[in-house]
Structure 1
Amino acid sequence: MKKSIVLLLVALFLMPLGGTLYAASKKKKEKGKTEEAAPAKKESKYDKLLKKPGVKTVKGDFITLHRVGNKVYFEYPVKYMGRELLIASTISETSSPTLCTVGYKPSAPLHVRFDLQDSTIFLRSVNSLVEYNEKEANLKEAVEENYIDPYMKKFTLEAYNADSSAVVFNVSSLFVDNVPELAPISKMSSGMISISATPKSELFSLGEMKAFEDNVSIATNTTHSVSASLFIFTINLGDVSNKVTRTVLLLPEDKDRMKPRISDSRIGIFLTGKQRISTEEDGIQSYTFANRWRLEPKDMRAWERGELVEPVKPIVWYVDNTFPEGWKEPIRKAVLRWNQAFEKIGFKNALQVRDFPTAEEDPNFDPDNLKYSCIRYSPVKTMNAMGPSWVDPKTGEIINASVLVYNDVVKLNNMWRFTQTAQIDPRVRAKKLPKEVLDESLEYVVAHEIGHTLGLMHNMSASHAYPVDSLRSASFTQKYGTTPSIMDYARFNYVAQPGDKGLKLTPPVLGCYDEYAIKWLYSPIAGNLDVREEAKILESWVDEKAGDPRYRYGRQQVYARYDPSAVEEDLGDDPMKASEYGIKNLKYIMAHLNEWIADDASTAHRQFLYEGIVTQYYRYLMNVLYNVGGIYLTEVKDGTPGARYQAVDAKCQSASLKWVVKQLCDSEWLKNKDVVSKFGLSATQVNDKVYGLVMQNILKADAKVLVSSHVAGGDYTQADYYNDLYSAVFANTIKGKKLTDLEKTMQRGVLAEFAKQVQTLKGTSKKLTNVAAYTPSIEEVFAYGLDESGFLACFKEQLSAIEQEYGNGVVMEQLKLHQFGDTYGYGFQKEVNAQLYDESLAHYTTMYVKILNLVKSKVLTAHKDDRPHYQALLVALETLKK
């Protein structure tokens, strides 16, 4: 045989035998276990931690979340270490909606990043204030050494995932424990007033977790014991429980961020502060970026051709499904009305509005996630609405915004429409506003708040641009409404008189200032220019409008009220004329109050409207009194029209003081017996309170006149003020006429103020601080809506009592000293002191002598009913000598 055949046969013969022997051998070994088994695969730290029963995992493209009991772990991609994030805290549920509003973010989002260093992960706060000129290479190293990102927290690396692309670490201390920066109730302290929330950590628990493409959200249930302090008194507000949703959002890398826009102080935009280090100028430059959404045309060439173009990413609003059904349509209209301004700069459908989607329509939707901007409903008594927004601190890009509408804003609208337009609009002469009036009023309120979320601050000087009598013109008001900006507090047309026909009673859909501000903020600029090149173009747009009162920006005055042309709740360019019209209307409305509001057996609503009438009257008087010592303030660029400051004309100041005194003396109509007799006994004192408040401000005006004359260069002096005060308060005494009760009260008030001044000179008066001349009283704060947070309203009665004892304005002076709230925007006008030139003591002495001689001459010759009054004054005057 051939060798190959022999080998084949041997192979065939041995194959089955070998297979049998191997199998037998294997069985024998298994039976006796004489061979060691292959070593088991070692369980990884990752598997040991996260593969146990009961671990809940939520996978996302950015961070994967793991829940182990009441602990939460991040599985954080290594590639995102060092990337900037925002961590925001939103209230999702609450036990106390008056303290915590669902949908609100109590604090600005944290701007942070995670860093991996060896086996530790650090959370660091991003230092985004300082920039530098990148053309100067050595500045980069200097900034990096001197402005490092502060360390906030550290976490231990627990494990790497299977391919080491992500690290796992326990972040429970950030989401389950109490973190003050993310707490639902922020600690406030102003020296005089404070609020604190002590966590009950044993009641904290982890809630639902969600993970998405570029963010995650984690819910936490919290409980805090809340207390408020006023001076030495502490009020226990009880335990407050909240469900809080924290969002961790990945921000774009620097190269992908929105191009910022440098602000201009002549236009009212919310701001993000910056400092720039460069040798281009001597010294570090401070400036601000305008807060705005990232709005870019889908087709830039089409936009350049003048075509309407949709934005790459529109601003989408979601309307809360819990709103009363009838409110939803005016709310949608409020959002969409702003598209009028965007269309003028080439954007189509820039703002869009949708209802809250169902889980089937959008399983990812979460109104408390930073990715969604929502209009939320809060079923509480607060008569207000808010429009806060939150930004990328690097650029000022608005990332998220909310509009919060409190239930009783409709009650506020009811009062506004009645007290300001009932004289001309029969529709509002009812306990409940008809739907068409409620809708247009609600639409205005929400549109104003949407304006805030677009970046616009209040512009309180806008309504001053229109002549008062133009507001009685049908053609004018139908075209322009009541103001050039709905960002003013110019409500409804209280100038309109009974019998006027065809007037528009509401603000415009949008004013010309609103459209101008939107153009400045959002109009694209062709040519791919850098930030500072664009700033020159933007500056030229503002230059074009300089000197035109319709485009003037007037900062809101909270801690100091210098400018009578930039106050809230006013209309027209002449406060005295507008207030004359307004008071005529109030008298007309008062005379018909019982007739128009008849379906009110308890009279509760009628009393609410009566108090609104009295408050409206108080505003009319204060609007005029602000002229006395008033200084117009305007941001002006050199070379363009206008003056930075200008004292109110002397004739106007003199006439204003006399007008307010006369109004107070003629204010008995507020005590309409047919009206107030239907209320409780205390209601009869409402107008007495107004009288006292205005009188306090009249007597405080001398310090304002001092500043306006000596600092602002006005020609109305302290001597003029005291002469006018004397001739107005003692007018009928000088003429030998019989005095009214209010005139007697006013004369006693002047002498009481003299007594206070004498006590001050002797060092025996009760004063907490030297109150600045222009500081508002607590009643002004409430009347003009300066307490936006609603915090002060919780202590209204106590704060009013403090001012009665320690002086008008002392509360706001204390809050200013302790920086209550932030000075947003361009800040408030700082106090101007002119005490060096104060000659009030000399003027007091001169007036004292004049009054003493006058009273002596009237003690025996005045009307018999007035003689006891003059005798009392004479005794008081003689006592002051001692």
Structure 2
Amino acid sequence: MRKHYVLFVGLILLSISMVSAQFSDKKKDFEKYEGFYNFYYDEGSDKIYLEVEKLEEEFLYVYSLSSGIGSNDIGLDRGQLGDEQVVYFTKAGNKLLLIQPNLKYRAITDNELERKSVEQAFAKSVLFGFPIVEENNGTYIIDITDFLMQDAHGVSSRLKRREQGSYSLDKSKSAFALDRTKAFPKNVEFDVTMTFKGQAKGSYIRSVAPNANLVTVAEHHSFIELPDNKYKKRVFDPRSGSSPFNYYDYATPVEENILKQFIRRHRLEKKDPTAEMSEAVEPIIYYLDNGTPEPVRSALLEGGRWWNQAFEAIGYKDAFQLKMLPDDADPLDVRYNVIQWVHRSTRGWSYGSSITDPRTGEIMKGHVSLGSLRIRQDFLIAQALMNKPFAERDDNYEPMLEMAIARIRQLSAHEIGHTLGFAHNYAASTTGKASVMDYPHPQFTLKDGEINFANAYETGIGDWDKVTVAYSYQDFKNGESEKEGLNKILDKAKADGLRYITDQDARPQGSAHVLAHLWDNGTDVSKELEDMLNIRKVAIDNFSVDNIQEGTPYSVLEDVFVPLYFFHRYQTEGVAKIIGGLEYNYAVKGDGQEVVAIANKAMQEEALKTVLKTLDANEIAIPKDKLSLFPPRSFGTPRTRESIKGKTGVSFDALSAVETASDMTLKFLLHPEKASRLIQQKAVDTDNVGLDEVLDKLIASTINKKQKDAYLNEAQTIINFRVLLHVMNLAGHNSVHPQVNAIASQKLKELSSQFAKDSESNAINAEMVKRINAFDEHPELFKVIPSPKIPDGSPIGTTCFH
């Protein structure tokens, strides 16, 4: 047995020796790349060999997509960054292992044994094992081909999660892309053309791939030198508008918090720390994708450069710069902060992401991805709201383009802001549009009965943006306490009336803050909704065939009408949030801010009065005289996901439009969490608005409202059935306070009694009684019947990625 074992070991050693000899003999024929890591490319076998000189030395590994799929719904875009990971090589037997240490749990201490105890307490990850091909005086050659040829970015799993099919990597149709495989002193870049084979099942992948069973993308791998230890972390404050970077320090004294929070930011230092105004040692330079066309190119450059205003305000000269990307530069190269112009088959989100040092939170690379079709949505909104723009000539597109370009300027600044380390501020619109980090809805006014577009979007950086830049990047002179200096910045912002509320408290479903809403306008959101409804009415009255160019199918006219019809959708969300809403801040002890309070009665009553207008057929029904503009779709221009959905087959369904719009309001107004908050706020202050009052006023203004016009009456009936369904939802919901169930059930009982009086002669009342009785008999079977889906709002929508 021992003889066989010795023979086996000998064969392994001989095999390793032969492979090593083969590499030494052949490497002169390989293409050598010299940089942060030296590596060799063997064209004959399409293999890459890495030269590892130092073990146990940490570096940064990042994977990304250098070419994507082109579908917003799948979400695999060109330039998309993956996770950054600190890694190092270590030797284990005849292998080098690539180790990812666990940086979430640490011990910041000089006690080596204490550090070791924390390191051993939590799992680390071995990302890959590489057989050693050659070893020479402590330098190792390893074959990293299989590591680079794996689906690091998770393309196949993403396709599966999006129900597009089951795909696997086909290595026979995959290869290294040498034009994007490069070596630099501080980073090496590997690019791989990867083909995934499978059976396509989803419409998204079929719509973008020439052969949906074979999907080819390019995955990119970067090995990057970590920054030196001179970067200084800055403490996170929930009031600052900066994004947090967290870890747990187990060496923390018991009396202190074990969770450590710092902000994410670029490294920035003055050349002359004593000067009031100084250039930076290394300015923050961003580069715009040189494939971006005009006039978008100029708009992105102008909007992005607004950030320099904020850096100048804290004493930096030209600290933020935006230039065109050199023609020979790769956008995925870590040396470049970039803004990429990304193409997709449909409109989609833009987002700002970054490569960050996981040890410190230092931003090493900002990467903005801007969806190229986004500009067309703003153009479409302007086209819908203009009064007969193509009545006299077909080239009258400048006013629409001007508004769309104004949005692109703001978008550039917004997404760059994320890559500078800043979070959304959805309360900024209540203080004079104080931040580009809010979501801006185009602002219009009525002047002499005409819609004025002059101030659709703000220009320049906002006052809040200057606060976030100051908190993140302000230098403090020798002897000045950084903690005191940072608190002064935030205290001044409070004194100036600036507010900061971010995503978790602004999303339409379930959130409650009365000032923080997405895509809203105005300090008084109820008044702004009134104004929007008036603008919407004027625009709909003006809407005609002259909102499209000569020779355009009428089907396109329907598409132009959609954003006009739903023009009020986001302001409605904001107003509905006030009912049962709260006023609060990210307060800390001693800062003097209001901690939390229930929204006052007058504000809630005004919000309820205003939002109920969006459930009035007089307000939201499409005028009868406009219906002749919308024939069945013409050949070649079918309905899309952005069309109004209906139940009438080929004909335009005006009643379904009303159903969709009213359901949108009711989802917010009768949200189960809001209903439970109304119970609590009434208990705390019996004079305030309660659920009983909300339901009474809702029923009075919908179900009990009579319309004399037959068309409007049918539209109101559609609304009323949606009201009934949402009241039933509250009556049977199992995640609300039981008082909610009780109050909603009582309203249903009252309605049933009311309808029963003339149900024999009134078919609608009979149907309502029938539905209430069915609910009473089997509430456990009840589900809200979905209304026709509202057309996509994105990118004038509800979220963005960063």
CA contact (8 A) 1:317 1:352 kept: yes
- Mapping of residues 31-46 of structure 1, within 5 Å: none
What is the CA distance between 1:502 and its match in structure 2?
Answer: 10
Return the alpha-carbon distance in structure 2 between the equivalents of residues 412 and 294 of structure 1: 36
Q: Please give the secondary structure, in 2, of the residue aligned with 1:513.
A: helix
In structure 1, the gaps of 5 or more residues are 1-42, 360-364, 467-482, 762-769, 773-834, 861-865
What is the CA distance between 1:869 and its match in structure 2?
Answer: 4.0
- State the partner residue of 2:51: 75
Q: 2:285 aligns with which of 302, 311, 316?
A: 316
Describe the shift of the 1:582–1:376 C-alpha distance in structure 2 as closer, same or farther (beyond 3 A): same
- State the partner residue of 1:66: 40
Q: 2:312 aligns with which of 333, 343, 363?
A: 343
Q: 2:223 aligns with which of 237, 248, 254?
A: 248
In structure 2, the gaps of 5 or more residues are 1-16, 633-650, 778-802
Return the alpha-carbon distance in structure 1 between the equivalents of residues 489 and 69 of structure 2: 49
Letter in 2 for 1:444: Q
What is the CA distance between 1:273 and its match in structure 2?
Answer: 1.8
- State the partner residue of 1:273: 246
Q: 1:219 aligns with which of 191, 195, 201?
A: 191
- State the partner residue of 1:375: 339
1:618 counterpart = 2:569? yes
What is the CA distance between 1:96 and its match in structure 2?
Answer: 4.7
1:158 counterpart = 2:133? yes
Q: Please give the secondary structure, in 2, of the residue aligned with 1:551.
A: coil
Letter in 1 for 2:540: M
What is the CA distance between 1:373 and its match in structure 2?
Answer: 2.2
Return the alpha-carbon distance in structure 1 between the equivalents of residues 699 and 327 of structure 2: 70
Describe the shift of the 1:385–1:94 C-alpha distance in structure 2 as closer, same or farther (beyond 3 A): closer
Q: 1:843 aligns with which of 732, 737, 743?
A: 743
Q: Please give the secondary structure, in 2, of the residue aligned with 1:108.
A: strand
Once the two structures are superposed, what CA deviation does each residue of 1:315-345 show, in whole Å capped at 9, x if it has no partner?
A: 2222222222332212211221111111111
1:88 counterpart = 2:62? yes
CA contact (8 A) 1:627 1:653 kept: yes
What is the CA distance between 1:172 and its match in structure 2?
Answer: 1.4
Return the alpha-carbon distance in structure 1 between the equivalents of residues 94 and 304 of structure 2: 49
- State the partner residue of 1:290: 263
Letter in 1 for 2:538: Y
Return the alpha-carbon distance in structure 2 between the equivalents of residues 425 and 496 of structure 1: 21
What is the CA distance between 1:733 and its match in structure 2?
Answer: 6.3
1:116 counterpart = 2:116? no
- State the partner residue of 2:794: none
Describe the shift of the 1:317–1:750 C-alpha distance in structure 2 as closer, same or farther (beyond 3 A): closer
- State the partner residue of 1:454: 420
Letter in 1 for 2:171: S
Letter in 1 for 2:520: D
Higher-Rg structure is 1
CA contact (8 A) 2:286 2:338 kept: yes
- State the partner residue of 2:663: 693
Letter in 2 for 1:132: A
Task: Count the aligned residue pairs.
Answer: 722
CA contact (8 A) 1:157 1:169 kept: yes
1:445 counterpart = 2:420? no
Q: Please give the secondary structure, in 2, of the residue aligned with 1:663.
A: helix
Letter in 2 for 1:631: L
Describe the shift of the 1:578–1:538 C-alpha distance in structure 2 as closer, same or farther (beyond 3 A): same
Q: Please give the secondary structure, in 2, of the residue aligned with 1:247.
A: strand
Return the alpha-carbon distance in structure 1 between the equivalents of residues 674 and 315 of structure 2: 47
CA contact (8 A) 2:177 2:192 kept: yes
Q: 1:560 aligns with which of 494, 497, 510?
A: 510
- Mapping of residues 613-762 of structure 1, within 5 Å: 613-667=564-618, 670-679=621-630, 680=632, 681-682=651-652, 684-685=654-655, 687-694=657-664, 696-697=666-667, 700-701=670-671, 703-710=673-680, 713=684, 715-732=688-705, 740-753=713-726, 760=732
Describe the shift of the 1:507–1:50 C-alpha distance in structure 2 as closer, same or farther (beyond 3 A): farther
- State the partner residue of 2:557: 606
Q: 2:534 aligns with which of 573, 584, 590?
A: 584
Return the alpha-carbon distance in structure 2 between the equivalents of residues 285 and 503 of structure 1: 52
- State the partner residue of 2:169: 199
- State the partner residue of 1:413: 378
CA contact (8 A) 1:90 1:104 kept: yes
What is the CA distance between 1:570 and its match in structure 2?
Answer: 0.4
CA contact (8 A) 1:102 1:376 kept: no
Return the alpha-carbon distance in structure 2 between the equivalents of residues 689 and 315 of structure 1: 50
Return the alpha-carbon distance in structure 2 between the equivalents of residues 748 and 436 of structure 1: 42
Once the two structures are superposed, what CA deviation does each residue of 1:776-808 show, in whole Å capped at 9, x if it has no partner?
A: xxxxxxxxxxxxxxxxxxxxxxxxxxxxxxxxx
Once the two structures are superposed, what CA deviation does each residue of 1:525-575 show, in whole Å capped at 9, x if it has no partner?
A: 23389xxx6345424422343365423233354463322421111011222
Describe the shift of the 1:65–1:639 C-alpha distance in structure 2 as closer, same or farther (beyond 3 A): same
Return the alpha-carbon distance in structure 1 between the equivalents of residues 668 and 135 of structure 2: 73
Return the alpha-carbon distance in structure 2 between the equivalents of residues 703 and 102 of structure 1: 36
Letter in 1 for 2:130: F
Describe the shift of the 1:596–1:718 C-alpha distance in structure 2 as closer, same or farther (beyond 3 A): same
Letter in 2 for 1:91: L
- State the partner residue of 1:210: 182
- State the partner residue of 1:326: 295
Normalising by structure 2, report the TM-score: 0.80
Return the alpha-carbon distance in structure 2 between the equivalents of residues 513 and 421 of structure 1: 32
CA contact (8 A) 1:321 1:355 kept: yes
Once the two structures are superposed, what CA deviation does each residue of 1:637-692 show, in whole Å capped at 9, x if it has no partner?
A: 12223334332223333343343333322346642344442223235355224344
Return the alpha-carbon distance in structure 2 between the equivalents of residues 117 and 523 of structure 1: 47
Once the two structures are superposed, what CA deviation does each residue of 1:65-116 show, in whole Å capped at 9, x if it has no partner?
A: 11222221111222xx222222222322346565566642352123211123
Describe the shift of the 1:858–1:267 C-alpha distance in structure 2 as closer, same or farther (beyond 3 A): farther
Return the alpha-carbon distance in structure 1 between the equivalents of residues 388 and 232 of structure 2: 51
CA contact (8 A) 1:658 1:728 kept: no
Identity of aligned residues (%): 19
Once the two structures are superposed, what CA deviation does each residue of 1:612-645 show, in whole Å capped at 9, x if it has no partner?
A: 0122223333332222222334211122233343
